[in-house]
């Protein structure tokens, strides 16, 4: 997707509790102040179809087989890119997206112990090879992330409720992905002050904008 359209596509990745929502809001505010048209979206759940899939993969009471889970995420992704992301980029919008295929590689590949390459290839097939311009990885230790989630006092979804070993595999996978694609990834320590993190992200994006 980097070569398609006239817009800019930014994805935010990281473990649950890493602060993606906060950084997405700060980034959207900064871009809006520059007169850019911003679309803030997420996966799963960035379309009407995606909302239905999100309810299954995050809130279904009962087991979902790992491969079925990976396929559901890919189905959401296929529809989301085709109906929401690609049209926005073709309009010249800036798309800020909470999670994309790197989440599937980390959570279903490493977390669920599936083949990471197969999971990635599935998403690339589903989206016709679409990749963002920049992926911001908010890196955080799983124990610190859990402390933040506990402080929110909200019910955990299916993935948040997984044990620390699961989230450690997820974090390690994210860091491997970032090391393999340094030109796309920006890794930021998620324990830093939110405004400091936002400044680092803005510096990276200023070059592209």
- Contacts (Cβ under 8 Å, ≥6 apart) of 172: 110
How many separate domains does the chain show? 1
Within a domain: 2: no
Instruction: Say how far apart CA 22 and CA 34 lie, in whole Å.
Output: 19
Within a domain: 59: yes
Within a domain: 102: yes
Within a domain: 187: yes
When the pLDDT of each residue in the chain is averaged and rounded to a whole number, the result is 93
What is the arrangement of strands in the sheet containing 38-42, beginning at the earlier edge strand? Answer: 38-42, 94-98, 8-14, 134-139, 185-189
Which residues span the domain enclosing 35?
Answer: 8-208
Instruction: Say how far apart CA 202 and CA 205 lie, in whole Å.
Output: 5
pLDDT of residue 3: 45
Within a domain: 133: yes
With H, G, I as helix, E, B as strand and everything else as coil, classify residue 32.
helix
**Helix-strand-coil split of the chain, %, nearest 5:** 55, 15, 30
Within a domain: 1: no
For the chain, what is the radius of gyration of the CA atoms? 16
pLDDT tens-digit readout, 35-45: 999 999 999 99
Instruction: Say how far apart CA 174 and CA 186 lie, in whole Å.
Output: 11
Instruction: Say how far apart CA 199 and CA 26 lie, in whole Å.
Output: 10
pLDDT of residue 155: 76
Within a domain: 176: yes
- The CATH number of whichever domain residue 149 belongs to comes to 3.40.50.300
pLDDT tens-digit readout, 90-136: 999 999 999 999 999 999 999 999 999 999 999 999 999 999 999 99
**pTM for the structure as a whole:** 0.91
Ranges in the chain, pLDDT < 50? 1, 3
């Amino acid at each position: 997707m980097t070569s398609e359209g006239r817009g800019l596509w930014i994805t935010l990745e990281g473990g649950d509790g890493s602060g993606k929502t906060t950084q997405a809001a700060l980034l959207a505010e900064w871009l809006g102040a520059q007169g850019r048209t911003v679309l803030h979206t997420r996966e799963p759940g960035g379309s009407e179809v995606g909302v239905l899939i999100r309810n299954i993969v995050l809130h279904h009471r009962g087991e979902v087989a790992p491969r079925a889970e990976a396929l559901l995420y890919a189905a959401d992704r296929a529809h989301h890119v085709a109906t929401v992301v690609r049209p926005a980029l073709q309009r010249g919008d800036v798309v800020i997206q909470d999670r994309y295929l790197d989440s599937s590689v980390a959570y279903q590949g490493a977390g669920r112990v599936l083949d990471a390459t197969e999971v990635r290839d599935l998403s690339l097939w589903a989206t016709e090879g679409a990749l963002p311009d920049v992926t911001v990885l908010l890196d955080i230790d799983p124990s610190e992330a859990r402390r933040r989630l506990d402080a929110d006092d909200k019910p955990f979804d299916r993935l948040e409720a997984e044990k620390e070993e699961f989230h450690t595999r997820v974090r390690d996978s994210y860091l491997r992905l970032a090391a393999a694609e340094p030109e796309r990834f920006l890794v930021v320590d998620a324990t830093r002050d939110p405004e400091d993190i936002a400044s680092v992200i803005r510096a990276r994006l200023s070059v592209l904008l």
